[in-house]
Amino acid sequence: MIEDARWDAPFLQPLAERAAAAALGAAGIAAPLEIAILAADDARMAGLNATFRGRDGATNVLSWPAFDLAPGAAPPEDRFGRPLLGDIALGYETCRAEAKAADRPFEAHIAHLIIHGCLHLLGYDHENEADATVMEDLEVRALARIGYPSPY
């Protein structure tokens, strides 16, 4: 869903599909899964961040898993029989500023954030150094699958 017209670019949907498939593949998940992506502005992201995380300000990416999964576990179907993984939201201004600050192409940064969000949906996190290392390795492998270099 595109809420901010600045996201309405022909690259977004194919990039999101490639990045999500790469994340799932890197995590060893072969089944096709539904992931909803919200392309919003920073004001919307700040509201979501406050509502769901209790944090002030906008952020680059948020995710809401449909199921509480252990890392690497395949998600079950939802109650309607859909292979639903969850939802991801992206904030335009923050994503654009981060890409510029890192001197990375915007599309490469968005691919990374979608991969990052997908891995959160699959139960991966970066709360400690060991988990962060696992998650970053999966991100780098997924990015390589779609032709982007490591952001680390």
User: The pTM is what?
Assistant: 0.94
Instruction: Locate the DSSP E strands across the chain.
Output: 34-40, 61-65, 84-91
For the chain, the helix, strand and coil percentages under 3-state DSSP, each to the nearest 5: 50, 15, 40
How sure is the predictor about 112, in pLDDT bands with cuts at 50, 70 and 90?
Answer: very high
Least Cα distance to 64 among 47, 77, 52, 81 occurs for: 52
Q: What is the pLDDT of residues 55-99, one digit of tens each?
A: 999 999 999 999 899 997 888 877 787 788 999 999 999 999 999
Q: Which residues pair with 62 in a beta bridge?
A: 89
Q: Which CATH superfamily is domain 5-145 in?
A: Metalloproteases ("zincins"), catalytic domain (3.40.390.30)
As a whole-number percent, the residues of the chain with pLDDT over 70 amount to: 100
On average, the pLDDT of the chain sits at 93
Question: How far is Cα 20 from Cα 37, in angstroms, rounded to an integer?
Answer: 10
Cα 45 to Cα 118: distance, rounded to the nearest angstrom: 17
